Amino acid sequence: MQTIKKDPAPGYLDMELLRFTTAGSVDDGKSTLIGRLLYDSKAIFEDQMESITSASLRKGDEDVNLALLTDGLRAEREQGITIDVAYRYFATPRRKFIIADTPGHIQYTRNMVTGASTANLAVILVDARYGIIEQTLRHAYIASLLKIPHVVICVNKMDLIDFKQEVFDEIRTGFLKFAGKLDIKDIRFVPISAKYGDNVVDRSLNTDWYDGPTLMYLLENIHIAGDTNLADVRFPVQYVIRPQSDKFPDYRGYAGRLAGGIMKPGDRVRVLPSGLESRIKSIATFNGTLEYALAPQSVSITLEDDLDISRGDMLTGTINTPRSGQEVKLMVCWLNQKPLQTGGKYLVRHTTRDVRCIVREVNYKMDINNLERDNENKQVGLNDIACIGIKTTRPLFYDSYRVNRNTGSLILIDETTNETVGAGMII
C-alpha cells in the first residue's frame, strides 16, 4: 500500500465541514434565511432560481420567495410551512456546510431533534416583532439537551421594526436571562432581515449600531475543532475485513468510524467486552496507510495480536475507558405516536452494538416551557422528553452524552414495526 506521509486529515483537524440546524417558531423565516444564504453566497443554480421565480409568481408573491428552495414538499409549499427536515449542502472558499432546516410547529419537535442530533451549531430565529416566545425556549432547551456547543440567535424581520436597536437589545437581554438555566457554552446574537439580506452574508447599512459579524462570517469562522472529544479513544468495530486474497492472505482489519480520540500505530488498545489488550499495527483508508487517525475518521485498523473481535465490540485506550453496564439512565425524546410502555421491550442501537432492552422506569418528564420536572404525569407520548431507566440484555460500552455525543447516544426501535421510536442521550 502507498503510505501517506503528510497530515492524513487536515479537514478533520480544522473541521472544514460545519453541520448546522435552523430552528424557530412558525413564520420566523427559517427557510427564507437558508434561501438567502444560498442566494447571496452564489450557491444556487440558474435553473433552481428560474424554478422558484416562476413558483413565486404563480403564488402571487411580490418578491422571489427564497423559502421555496428548502420547502420541497407540496404540502409545505401550499401551507407555507416546513414539515419535514430539509437538508441542503453548499460550500464557500472557507468551509463546507450541511444545513438541516427543521419545522417550527410544536408537533414536529421530533423532527427538530432528528435534524439537530449531529449539528455543531444551531441557528435559532426570533421574530423581532414578538420577541422571545414559548417555541424559542423549547428550541433552546432542545439545543442544550443535544449538547450543541454553539448557538446563534438571529433576530429576524428587523426591517419590520425599522431596525431599532432597543428591540434587539431587549431580546438579547431576555434570552441571556433564560440561558442561565441551559448548558450552552457559546451564544451569539445577530440582527438580520432574511428577506432583504441584512447581516446575512453582507453587512447592513441599516444597523450602524451593530458592530458584530454577519451570520455568514460566524458560520465560516466559528471554531469547532475543539468540540470533538480527542482525549478518549473510542473505536466501535463496524466490520471485520478478511479479503483472504493472494495479495493479502492473512489480513484481518477492523473497520469503523472513530467516535473519539486519536489513534496511531504502536498505541496500546483494549478490546471490549473481552478486556484483552494489543497494539495497533497499522491504520489504513482506501487511499493508503496513515500515520495516525482522529475522530471522526473512518478507517481500518490491524492489531499485532490475533484476537477474537467482531462487530459491536469496541477498541479503547487503556486509560479513561468507557463505562460498561446493562443498567442505563437516559433522557429520551419520544418520536412515535404509540406511547412509551413502562415494562415494554425495545431494540437498542448504540454505536455498532445491537441489543434488546426493557424499560425499567420513567423517572420524570420535562416541562419544556418552564424547564421543570414533572414527577406526577409519567405518560410519555409523541414529542415528550423524559428521563428513563432501561436494562439491556448485553452490556453497552458508553460515555455520558455530555462527554461524547457519539458513545453517549442511542436509539430505541419497536421490535414489531422496526420503527425508531426514541432518541436517547445517556446521563
Digit-coded pLDDT (tens) for 100-135: 877 655 555 666 777 777 889 999 999 999 999 888
Is the Cβ–Cβ distance between 401 and 424 less than 8 Å? no
Q: What is the per-residue burial (b if ≥16 Cβ within 10 Å, else e) of 353-381?
A: bebebebeebeebbebeeeeeeeeebebe
* Distance in angstroms (rounded) separating the CA atoms of residues 249 and 177: 64
Is the Cβ–Cβ distance between 235 and 263 less than 8 Å? yes
Among residues 298, 221, 286, 217, which one has the least CA distance to residue 16?
221
Residue 315's pLDDT is: 97
Q: Which residues contact 111 (CB under 8 A, 6 or more apart)?
A: 83, 84, 85, 102, 103
Helices (H) and strands (E) counted in the chain, each on its own, are 8, 22
Name the H helices within 209-291: 215-221
Residue 397's pLDDT is: 97
Residue 38's pLDDT is: 81
Digit-coded pLDDT (tens) for 193-211: 988 999 999 999 999 999 9
Domains of the chain (ranges, CATH numbers): 11-225 (3.40.50.300), 229-316 (2.40.30.10), 323-426 (2.40.30.10)
Residue 154's pLDDT is: 96
* Distance in angstroms (rounded) separating the CA atoms of residues 134 and 184: 18
DSSP string, 91-106: E-SS-EEEEEE---SG
User: Which grid cell sits at 342?
Assistant: 413502562
**Segments in the chain below pLDDT 70:** 1-15, 43-86, 103-111, 369
Answering whether pTM is above 0.85, one says: no
DSSP string, 307-344: ----TT-EEE-SSSPPEEEEEEEEEEEE-SSSPP-TT-
Residue 12's pLDDT is: 41
